[in-house]
């Protein structure tokens, strides 16, 4: 209506209200059009443009045209390394190219895989006559969050039985980590430092610093053993100031594929308890890692059974193949105690306020799909099979790669390929080797030598093993 920013009262065009009806040619209900008739004709175009700029600067104020957000103020951000890698892969015209950077499951033909159970749920959704496009509640689809909570904590969790767990639907796992970070930044009385594993999923750094929390690292990966540096981790957790926030990958650690054993989790829990730290679980691969949903949630369930106050970011991107649908949940578990249920209710109410200002209402499609599957025993059983298909193919690729490298006698030891778990393997390749693999062999992976096992298949595994073998020989 006020297309030139002029208020109603200042419009120049005559209107029915002042008794001079507009002519039919200018009768297009625009408040500004007849302004042109008050301006100089086209024959004096240069003076007309300077007059126009005078009018414009009069309307806009004297700062018009001066940018606050200049190049000096806003520098060009570096490209996200993963997305840069994907772009380089797409631009490579070689028919031999192999994408091992991708953080999504691929089938044996290197194609995205729609889980058969998701196809079924989609058909159910499609044929539901009651489906509409209304907003979901702020905290999300109730059937989804309740089922997601049981899935991660276990249906018999003491936290659920004692009403001290609250769950909100989020924008996948990233949104869940963010909501948790925001809550901690706002409500933690001391805003302690957040300790992240070294290395970790790169986005953790940004998510926690973006909400104003300080971050630090604890040792995690041993370059020597290509396994867990449990001693380094435990002593760093010991040395961290009491009450720190410790971010833990619940399973299938990204990027290393190295998980603590159950015994090591117990040791980690014991230090966290002793130092009064707050464990923050990030779980992006439940069921995708081992193929067993309970096993992949073991660490979280153990901590909850031990009575810890904790929170969990849960993603359904990988285990349902719902990457772009952004289905996830954030769970806050209050420590056991007489006040726990009330405290948890208060926390739920504050999380809802945070969610309201961030996304208002979470997206419906992905959570509806997951909810249909999680709440139907037959579909749930099929989902477990689909999980086994994905995790099984990845485990097979791990075995196949290790066998090939060992058969070739590739310098170094390669048993870490099978002892690591989940989507990724931290190969131990250095930056120069990664570059050679890319330039000479058209094989794409992140600079830190992480490969996505899902990018390997029966058609390219021999080629990759050969490339890796030759590259390691040439450079060692
Ligand atoms: C450790 C970790 N946390 C969280 C996520 C979040 O993923 P999404 O937001 O797609 O669920 C990922 C995905 O790669 C991850 O690896």
3-state secondary structure of 194: strand
Pocket test for ligand 1, best of 257, 317, 366, 453 (most atoms within 8 A of CB): 317
Question: 301-338 b/e with 16+ CB inside 10 Å = b?
Answer: bebbeeebbbbbbbbbbbbbbbbebbbbbbbbbbeeee
Pocket test for ligand 1, best of 173, 196, 198, 450 (most atoms within 8 A of CB): 173
Which residues does residue 83 pair with via DSSP β-bridges, in sequence order?
none
Q: Is the dihedral of CA 401, 403, 407, 413 positive or negative?
A: positive
Does the pLDDT of residue 26 top 50, yes or no?
Answer: no
203-210 vs 172-187: helix axis angle to the nearest 10? 40
Q: Which of 52-56, 118-122, 203-207, 418-422 has the lowest mean pLDDT?
A: 52-56
Q: How far apart are CA 306 and CA 249, in angstroms?
A: 18
Does the pLDDT of residue 1 top 90, yes or no?
Answer: no
Region 188-217: mean pLDDT is 97
CA of 259 to the centre of ligand 1 (A): 16
pLDDT recorded at residue 36: 37
Pocket test for ligand 1, best of 152, 172, 284, 453 (most atoms within 8 A of CB): 284
pLDDT recorded at residue 52: 62
* 201 Cβ closer than 6 Å to some ligand 1 atom: yes
CA neighbor of 159 nearest in space, from 375, 312, 282: 312
Looking at 229, 318, 386, 441, which residue is catalytic?
Answer: 318
Name residue, tokens 């926030």. 245
pLDDT bracket for residue 81 (50, 70, 90): confident
Does the pLDDT of residue 51 top 80, yes or no?
Answer: no
Name residue, tokens 């059009």. 33
Look up 201 and say whether it is catalytic.
yes
Which residues does residue 222 pair with via DSSP β-bridges, in sequence order?
227
pLDDT bracket for residue 83 (50, 70, 90): confident
Does the pLDDT of residue 430 top 60, yes or no?
Answer: yes
Does the pLDDT of residue 17 top 60, yes or no?
Answer: no
pLDDT recorded at residue 82: 83
CB 246 within 8 A of CB 220: no
Tokens of 126: 């499609």
CA of 185 to the centre of ligand 1 (A): 21
Does the pLDDT of residue 373 top 50, yes or no?
Answer: yes
Tokens of 419: 């002892």
Tokens of 418: 């099978």
Tokens of 395: 């485990």
Q: How far apart are CA 268 and CA 233, in angstroms?
A: 8
Look up 318 and say whether it is catalytic.
yes
* 282 Cβ closer than 6 Å to some ligand 1 atom: yes
pLDDT recorded at residue 262: 98
Looking at 229, 259, 282, 296, which residue is catalytic?
Answer: 282
pLDDT recorded at residue 49: 57
Does the pLDDT of residue 359 top 80, yes or no?
Answer: yes
CA neighbor of 427 nearest in space, from 407, 401, 404, 409: 401
CA of 309 to the centre of ligand 1 (A): 22
Q: How far apart are CA 57 and CA 285, in angstroms?
A: 56
Q: Please give the domain boundaries of the chain with CATH numbers for all domains.
A: 81-113+388-475 (3.90.1150.10), 135-375 (3.40.640.10)
CB 282 within 8 A of CB 248: yes
Looking at 99, 113, 120, 201, which residue is catalytic?
Answer: 201
| Ligand 1 atom nearest residue 201's Cα | 1
Region 447-456: mean pLDDT is 95
CA of 172 to the centre of ligand 1 (A): 8
Mean residue pLDDT across the chain: 89
pLDDT (tens digit per residue) in 141-185: 999 999 999 999 999 999 999 999 999 999 999 999 999 999 999
Region 71-80: mean pLDDT is 91
pLDDT recorded at residue 395: 94
CA neighbor of 165 nearest in space, from 176, 174, 154, 181: 154
Region 453-475: mean pLDDT is 96
pLDDT recorded at residue 65: 78
Q: Percent of the chain scored above 70 by pLDDT?
A: 87
DSSP 398-454: HHHHHHHHHHHT-SS--THHHHS-SSEEE----HHHHHHHHHHH-EE--TT-EEEGG
pLDDT recorded at residue 476: 77
pLDDT (tens digit per residue) in 225-268: 999 999 999 999 999 999 999 999 999 999 999 999 999 999 99
pLDDT recorded at residue 441: 97
CA neighbor of 4 nearest in space, from 57, 59, 47: 59
């Amino acid at each position: 209506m006020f297309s030139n920013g002029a208020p109603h009262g200042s419009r120049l065009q005559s209107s029915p209200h002042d008794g001079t009806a507009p002519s039919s040619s200018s009768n297009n209900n625009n408040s500004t059009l007849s302004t042109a008739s008050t301006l100089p004709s086209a024959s004096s175009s240069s003076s007309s443009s300077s007059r126009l700029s005078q009018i414009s600067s009069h309307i806009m104020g004297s700062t018009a045209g001066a940018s606050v957000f200049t190049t000096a103020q806003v520098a060009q951000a570096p490209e996200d390394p993963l997305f840069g890698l994907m772009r380089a892969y797409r631009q490579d015209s070689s028919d031999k190219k192999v994408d091992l950077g991708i953080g999504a499951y691929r089938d044996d033909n290197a194609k995205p895989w729609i889980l058969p159970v998701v196809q079924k749920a989609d058909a159910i959704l499609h044929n539901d006559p009651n489906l509409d496009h209304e907003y979901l509640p702020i905290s999300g689809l109730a059937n989804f969050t309740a089922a997601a909570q049981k899935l991660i904590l276990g249906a018999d969790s003491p936290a659920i039985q004692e009403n001290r767990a609250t769950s909100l639907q989020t924008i996948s796992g990233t949104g869940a980590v963010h909501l948790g970070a925001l809550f901690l930044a706002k409500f933690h009385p001391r805003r302690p430092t957040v300790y992240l594993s070294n290395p970790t999923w790169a986005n953790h750094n940004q998510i926690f610093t973006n909400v104003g929390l300080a971050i630090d690292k604890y040792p995690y990966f041993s370059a020597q053993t290509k396994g867990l540096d449990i001693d380094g981790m435990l002593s760093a957790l010991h040395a961290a100031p009491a009450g720190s926030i410790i971010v833990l990958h619940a399973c299938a650690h990204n990027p290393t594929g190295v998980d603590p054993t159950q015994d090591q989790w117990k040791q980690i829990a014991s230090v966290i308890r002793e130092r009064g730290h707050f464990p923050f679980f990030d779980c992006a691969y439940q069921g995708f890692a081992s193929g067993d949903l309970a096993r992949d949630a073991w660490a979280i369930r153990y901590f909850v059974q031990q009575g810890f106050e904790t929170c969990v970011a849960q993603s359904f991107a990988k285990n349902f193949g719902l990457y772009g649908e952004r289905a996830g949940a954030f769970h806050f578990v209050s420590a056991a105690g007489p006040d726990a249920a009330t405290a948890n209710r208060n926390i739920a109410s504050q999380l809802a306020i945070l969610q309201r200002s961030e996304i208002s209402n979470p997206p419906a499609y992905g959570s509806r799909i997951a909810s249909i599957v999680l709440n139907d025993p037959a579909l749930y059983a099929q989902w477990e099979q689909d999980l086994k298909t994905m995790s099984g193919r990845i485990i097979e690729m791990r075995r196949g790669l290790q066998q090939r490298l060992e058969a070739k006698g590739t310098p170094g030891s390669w048993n870490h390929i099978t002892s690591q778990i989940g989507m990724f393997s931290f190969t131990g390749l250095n930056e120069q080797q990664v570059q050679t693999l890319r330039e000479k062999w058209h094989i794409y992976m992140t600079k830190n030598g992480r490969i996505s096992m899902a990018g390997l298949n029966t058609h390219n595994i021999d080629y990759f093993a050969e490339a890796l073998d030759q590259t390691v020989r040439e450079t060692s």
